[in-house]
C-alpha cells in the first residue's frame, strides 16, 4: 500500500516548535486543526535548508538580490547569497 499524500501535512508542534511531517486527519470540531496519527522525526533543519535553497535559486533565476514574503503572521526577508 502506498502513501496517501492528501493525508500528509507539514506540521509545527505548538509544544516544541519543531517541524515534522504528519499523517492524519482534520479535526471535525476545531476548524484548521490537524490531528497527526503518525509523524516523522524533527525535520526543521532539513525543511529550512530546502526552503533557503529554493529562495536562493528563485532569486538567482529572476536576477534579483532577494525577496520578501508577507502574511498575517509577519514578513520574511531573504537576501540571496548572503550568510
pTM of the entire predicted model: 0.68
What's the average model confidence in pLDDT over 66-83?
83
Write out pLDDT tens, residues 23-64: 888 889 998 888 888 889 999 999 999 988 888 888 888 888
Q: What is the pLDDT of residue 82?
A: 55
Please give the full DSSP string across 12-76, using - where no structure is assigned. Answer: E-TTT--EEEEEEEE-SSSTT-EEEEEE-S--HHHHHHHHHHHHHHHHHHTT-SEEEEEETTEEE
Between residues 83 and 2, which one has the greater pLDDT? 2
Residue spans of the domains in the chain: they are 5-39, 45-79
**SS3 call for 1:** coil
Amino acid at each position: 500500500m502506498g502513501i496517501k499524500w492528501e493525508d500528509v501535512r507539514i506540521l509545527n508542534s505548538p509544544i516544541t516548535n519543531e517541524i515534522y511531517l504528519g499523517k492524519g486527519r482534520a479535526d471535525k470540531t476545531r476548524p484548521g486543526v490537524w490531528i497527526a496519527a503518525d509523524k516523522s522525526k524533527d525535520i526543521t533543519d532539513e525543511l529550512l535548508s530546502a526552503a533557503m535553497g529554493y529562495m536562493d535559486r528563485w532569486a538567482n533565476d529572476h536576477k534579483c538580490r532577494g525577496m520578501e514574503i508577507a502574511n498575517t503572521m509577519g514578513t520574511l526577508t531573504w537576501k540571496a547569497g548572503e550568510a
